[in-house]
Amino acid sequence: MKILIIGSGGREHALAWKCAHDISVEHIFVCPGNAGTHLEDKISNVEINASDFGAIENFCISKEISLVIIGPEQPLVDGLTNYLQSKGIDTFGPSKEAAQLEGSKTFSKDFFVKYHIPTAEYKSFDGFDDALNYLDEINYPTVVKADGLAAGKGVIICENKNEAIEALQSIFKDNAFGSAGNKVVIEEFLEGEEASFIAVVSKDKIIPLVTSQDHKAVGDGDVGLNTGGMGAYSPAPVVTDEINRKILDEVMYPTMHGLIQENSPYLGFLYAGLMIKDNEIKVLEFNCRFGDPETQPILLRLKSSLVELCKAAINDNLDSYNIEWTEEHSCGVVIASKGYPENYESGKEVSIDQNKSENSKLFHAGTKFENNKIFTNGGRVFCATALGKDLKEAQQNAYNLLDKVHFEGAFYRTDIGYKGIK
Ligand code: AMP
Ligand code: GLY
Tell me which of 5-9, 350-354, 379-383 is least confident: 350-354
Pocket flag, ligand 1, residue 285 (CB < 6 Å): yes
Q: Residue 196: nearest ligand to its CA?
A: 2
Pocket flag, ligand 2, residue 292 (CB < 6 Å): yes
Q: What is the pLDDT of residue 90?
A: 98
Task: Please report which confidence band the pLDDT of residue 226 belongs to, taking 50, 70 and 90 as the band edges.
Answer: confident
DSSP, collapsed to helix, strand or coil, labels residue 331 as strand
Q: How far is the CA of 118 from the centre of ligand 1 (A)?
A: 14
Residue 355 pLDDT > 90: no
State pLDDT tens for residues 143-168. Answer: 999 999 988 788 999 999 999 999 99
Q: Which atom of ligand 1 is nearest to the CA of 190?
A: 20
DSSP state of 180: G
Q: Which atom of ligand 2 is nearest to the CA of 291?
A: 4
**Whether pTM exceeds 0.85:** yes
State pLDDT tens for residues 204-224. Answer: 999 999 999 999 999 999 999
Cα 262 from Cα 32, distance rounded (Å):
33
Q: Whose CA is nearest to atom 4 of ligand 2?
A: 291
Residue 356 pLDDT > 80: no
Mean pLDDT estimate for the chain: 96
Average pLDDT for 47-62: 96
Average pLDDT for 357-372: 95
Cα 49 from Cα 318, distance rounded (Å):
32
Residue of 284, 285, 287, 289 to mutate, ligand 1, most atoms within 8 A of C-beta: 284
Q: Whose CA is nearest to atom 3 of ligand 1?
A: 285
Report residue 403: phi and psi, to 5°. -60, -15
| CA-wise closest residue to 274 among 304, 313, 238, 308 | 238
Stretch (H or E) spanning 337? none
Provide the angle, in degrees to the nearest 10, between the axes of the packed helices 253-261 and 105-114. 100
Beta strands across the sheet bearing 27-32: 43-45, 27-32, 2-7, 65-70, 91-92
Average pLDDT for 318-329: 97
Residue 422 pLDDT > 80: no
Give the Å distances, CA to CA, from 421 to 236, 327, 351: 10, 16, 31
Q: How far is the CA of 13 from the centre of ligand 2 (A)?
A: 15
State pLDDT tens for residues 55-90. Answer: 999 999 999 999 999 999 999 999 999 999 999 999
State pLDDT tens for residues 281-300. Answer: 999 999 999 999 999 999 99
